[in-house]
Amino acid sequence: MKNFFASLLGTLVGLVVFFLLMFFILIAFISVVSTPQDPKPVSVNSVLKLTFETPLIDRTRNSPWDFTGMSSLENMRVIGLNDVLTSIARAGDDPNIKGIYMELSTVQAGTASLGEVRQALEKFKLKGKFVMAYASYYSQKAYYLASVADKIYMNPEGNLLLTGISYQAMFFKGTFEKLGIEPQLIRHGKYKSAGEMLINEKMSEENKEQVSTYIGSLWSKMAADIAVSRGIQVEEINEWISGLKVSSPTKAVDLKLVDALKYKDEVIQELDSLSGGVPVDQISLKKYVVSAPSSGTSKNVLALVYAEGDIVTGRGDDENIGADKYAETLREIRNDSTVKAVLFRINSGGGSALASEIIWRELKLIAKDKKLIVSMGNVAASGGYYIACPAHKIMASEATLTGSIGVFGVLFNGKEFLNKKLGITTEAVNTHPYSDLGSFSRPLEIKEREVIQMEVDRIYESFVQRVAEGRGLEEGFVNSIAQGRVWAGKNALDIKLIDQIGGLEDALAETATLAGLTEYRVVEYPKLKEPWEVFINSLAEQAQVWWHGKDINSYLELLPIYQNIKNFEGIQARMSVYFEN
């Protein structure tokens, strides 16, 4: 028995040492893999292959892998819009890159981001190089991007879906009534639809008006771009869609929306012929990004700050905009004498009003000493617009969703649900009359509702003042275009919420011009975690999911909603829903 325990102890110690050794070897491997590499040579006959199977976020994540699950180590690294645009521009000047080939059966990106990619591809074509698009099936977004190509091909049994844009809202008033839960919504702004789905059975007339205006502007932009690229009239496109005339692959060819129906092997043969008649080397964007050179060694720094996700109090994480983390980063930039100008890129539907105020203050301080430009992505609304106000200049795409200058708060009264549905009664002992304000077990009293409404109104007034001050407008005018209403970038330009139409690359050039910079290097903020840190965190998260049971994967798609609700703290300056733009 003594020998048995000695052997068992020795085995356990050996296993511990083995796993520790393997752990450190894995860390070393990740460090080597993620270390910036010298530019790799690109084959003479190459085409840059673009796909958009992963969500097109603004900034590439600093991770060698983004795991899809514990059972998969597939490299699903998410490439950001920043690297997509840089790579397309670089490919235009690369003599070894003959053209760009896009496979677009799956496209996960906002319309504004796709518009920026289209613009980059237009500039690429001016270099005398070709762009080709292929898909087994084209969604509307996929076709919008594909339309910029010289040649658009589709599988003979594929399909092209052009239907225009629809926005459908879901309302939960009946659900809450059945449950015996009363949503107590307090808001300022007749267009502020946040929370509307909790108390209504259908859209308000104000909400219908703003949605109709927004999706109308969005479609006008898409249709106009498609029409110009394909040499057809917008009126024709609208007529085809209204009559459901794009009903088959051959019909898509007849209407000149697609150039030809081909199988993938036939497309590859054509790529070979365009590249000199020899087999072409298709280099993926991930590999081309890795081989990209640095941004230079100039002492003059243009700080590019990415703010993407919900605006939350605290430090937040890589998926949102933590007020404390961004305030710290912005102070660092303000105190850095090498930073000559700041470009603040926003892709956010807002969040905490207090967190937005904290970030606004730091940006206002920066604007006193350095040129500050804001670039808006797919969405910069509510709190996302709040933090844009201090900028010397605001730029957005025509399809950017912005505005939503409004405020709301919501508390739930679940007394009937607890008492009648679950048979639960509650009793509170308070030191003061309203110590249990916000309790789920009782409704708000009149005085409590009045106090919360006053706070919502106060924050709304501050919001309007911030906009008026930053944009040089009268508060009365700002109030008339505010009220929680959302606008497309095209319309926002007309009412002076933005200064200029343009994407990220345009904003970079404008920032350098306004700051008088001819030589500079771009430094991105906030500083990203080391790849090995991201890797370990990813493993820990996946292990937690595995520990709680395999069936949890079916609920993972609800996790972002749950995380957003957890981040609700105080009065909110956010959009309640996001348009699928």
**Is the pLDDT at 125 greater than 90, yes or no?**
yes
- Ramachandran angles phi, psi of 396, nearest 5°: -150, 160
pLDDT of the residue at 277: 73
Q: What is the mean pLDDT of residues 269-295?
A: 82
Query: Does residue 46 carry a catalytic annotation?
Result: no
pLDDT tens sequence across 486-512: 999 999 999 999 999 999 999 999 999
pLDDT tens sequence across 383-404: 999 999 999 999 999 999 999 9
What average pLDDT does the chain have? Answer: 87
Q: What is the dihedral of CA 90, 98, 231, 397, to 10 degrees?
A: -10
Reference 87, options 285, 296, 306, 295; nearest CA is 285
> 72, exposed or middle or buried, with CB in 10 Å at 0-12, 13-18, 19+?
exposed
**Is the pLDDT at 75 greater than 90, yes or no?**
no
Query: Does residue 141 carry a catalytic annotation?
Result: no
Q: Tell me the two tokens of residue 219.
A: 């479609």
Q: What is the mean pLDDT of residues 313-335?
A: 95
pLDDT tens sequence across 205-229: 999 999 999 999 999 999 999 999 9
Residues whose CB is less than 8 angstroms from the CB of residue 535 and which lie 6 or more positions away in sequence, other chains included: 30, 63, 64, 65
Q: Tell me the two tokens of residue 228.
A: 């110009």
46-162+246-290 shares its CATH topology with 301-409+455-574: yes
Q: How far apart are CA 78 and CA 507, in angstroms?
A: 23
**Is the pLDDT at 377 greater than 60, yes or no?**
yes
**Is the pLDDT at 201 greater than 80, yes or no?**
yes
pLDDT of the residue at 545: 47
**pLDDT interval class at 69 (50, 70, 90):** very low
What proportion of the chain, given as a percentage, has pLDDT over 70? 81
Q: How far apart are CA 312 and CA 279, in angstroms?
A: 51
Which one has a higher pLDDT value, 13 or 71? 13
**pLDDT interval class at 67 (50, 70, 90):** very low
CA of 167: how far to CAs of 47, 164, 466, in Å? 38, 10, 31
What proportion of the chain, given as a percentage, has pLDDT over 90? 72
Give this prediction's pTM: 0.85
**pLDDT interval class at 90 (50, 70, 90):** very high
pLDDT tens sequence across 343-362: 999 999 999 999 999 999 99
Which one has a higher pLDDT value, 291 or 427? 427
Homologous superfamily of the 301-409+455-574 domain (CATH) = 2-enoyl-CoA Hydratase; Chain A, domain 1 (3.90.226.10)
pLDDT of the residue at 454: 95
| Domain edges within the chain | 46-162+246-290, 301-409+455-574
Catalytic residue among 139, 382, 404, 439: 382
pLDDT of the residue at 113: 97
Q: Tell me the two tokens of residue 484.
A: 């929680």
Q: What is the mean pLDDT of residues 115-139?
A: 97
Q: How far apart are CA 96 and CA 199, in angstroms?
A: 60
CA of 261: how far to CAs of 52, 159, 236, 245, 265, in Å? 22, 10, 22, 17, 12
pLDDT tens sequence across 507-554: 999 999 999 999 999 999 998 865 545 555 555 555 554 445 544 454
**Is the pLDDT at 560 greater than 60, yes or no?**
no
Q: Tell me the two tokens of residue 571.
A: 């009065």
**Is the pLDDT at 425 greater than 50, yes or no?**
yes
pLDDT of the residue at 74: 43
Catalytic residue among 49, 141, 192, 340: 192
pLDDT of the residue at 401: 96
Q: Tell me the two tokens of residue 266.
A: 């036939």
Reference 478, options 493, 487, 491, 466; nearest CA is 466
Query: CATH: 3.10.20.90, 3.10.129.10, 3.90.226.10, 3.65.10.10. Which one for 46-162+246-290?
Result: 3.90.226.10
pLDDT of the residue at 29: 53
**Is the pLDDT at 475 greater than 70, yes or no?**
yes
Residue type, 468: A
Query: 67-81, 354-368, 439-453: lowest mean pLDDT where?
Result: 67-81
pLDDT tens sequence across 37-58: 444 678 888 999 999 999 999 9
**Is the pLDDT at 165 greater than 60, yes or no?**
yes
